[in-house]
Amino acid sequence: MLVHSRGARWAVWALFLVLFLPLFALPLLVVLGASFATNWSGVLPSGFTTGHYATATRGEALQALTTSLATAAAASVLALVVGTWAALAAAALNKRHRRVMDALFVLPLAVPSVVVGLAILVAFSEPPFLLNGTRWIVILAHTVLVTAFSYQSVSAALTRLDPAYEQAAASLGARPAYVLWRVRLPLLLPSLTAAAGLCFALSMGELSATMMLYPPDWTPLPVLIYAATDRGALFAGSALAVVLMAATLLALFAVSRVRTKASYR
């Protein structure tokens, strides 16, 4: 640790708790408390009920959670495939063309997600690319929004990759496809799993573009949370938010287990 004095170390911890606890932990604790409340007129919620969770884990809410999980899983897989392919292709380009590729894939992050949603809505509302009103346009929008993270993650991993492994395989007569499949991709596996987890988490919470695109039979959970809070059902919306957070954390935990195993290979 950089701070060696015991007193200074306690001061750093106290400063951390004062500055960062209200910023990160308290909002989550407020949502958690509200999800069990029947009324909140003072400093703390009053009344206790698990009824909000009974509603949040069945019927329309359960279907919305399933929709969010399916959308996030599909968008993560697609983003990982496209981002990895683009990062591998960019690594073979010269510096100037690589910058152009970086700019193209980072561009969706530079504009608001609602603009990305509008662009996809306009582009895919006419034949032959008619996706408006289908679940595929939601998955496509999520893929576009999260691919930049997989591209950046794999690109960063490629710059740290020791070329000696590929050169050794190639010197032994391995073809490029074999080197890619048996050498490069296994070495990139920890970064790929990290990118997949990040894409999944971001897709699970995406709302702005989704609001413009989702069809009635494909309503993700963030849309349902927004609708609940918009009509004043704050405690029911809090329970839905906790369910969304729990599902996301469980999925990220599963991905981290895969990543840990990949790191020890």
Confidence at residue 143, expressed as pLDDT on a 0 to 100 scale: 95
Confidence at residue 166, expressed as pLDDT on a 0 to 100 scale: 81
Q: Name every residue whose Cβ is closer than 8 Å to that of residue 265 and which is 6 or more positions away in sequence.
A: 186, 189
Confidence at residue 81, expressed as pLDDT on a 0 to 100 scale: 94
At 129, is the secondary structure helix, strand, or coil? Answer: coil
C-beta of residue 113 within 8 angstroms of C-beta of residue 208 = yes
Q: Which of 233, 235, 162, 199 is nearest to 73 (CA)?
A: 199
d(C-alpha 229, C-alpha 225), whole Å: 6
Q: How many CA atoms lie within 13 A of 197 on its CB side?
A: 18
At 118, is the secondary structure helix, strand, or coil? Answer: helix
d(C-alpha 29, C-alpha 72), whole Å: 25
Q: Which two tokens stand for residue 14?
A: 């106290």
Length of the chain: 265
C-beta of residue 87 within 8 angstroms of C-beta of residue 148 = no
Q: List Cα–Cα distances, 24 to 19, 20, 33, 99, in angstroms.
A: 9, 6, 15, 35
**pTM for the whole structure:** 0.86
Helix and strand counts by DSSP (H, E) for the chain: 13, 0
Backbone angles phi, psi at 39, to 5 degrees: -155, 150
Is the bond preceding residue 108 a cis peptide, omega within 30 degrees? no
Backbone angles phi, psi at 216, to 5 degrees: -60, -30
Gyration radius of the chain's alpha carbons? 22
**Ordered per-residue pLDDT tens for the chain, 265 residues:** 556 677 778 888 888 777 777 777 888 888 998 999 888 877 778 788 888 899 888 889 999 999 999 999 999 999 999 999 999 999 888 888 888 988 988 888 888 999 999 999 999 988 878 888 899 999 999 999 999 999 999 999 988 888 888 888 888 888 888 888 888 888 888 889 989 999 999 999 999 999 999 998 999 999 999 999 999 899 999 999 999 999 999 988 888 877 666 655 5
Buried b (16+ CB within 10 A) or exposed e, 221-254: bbbbbebbbeeebebbbbbbbbbbeebbeebbee
In DSSP terms, 46 is beta-bridged to: 39
d(C-alpha 62, C-alpha 165), whole Å: 47
Residue with tokens 């971001």: 202
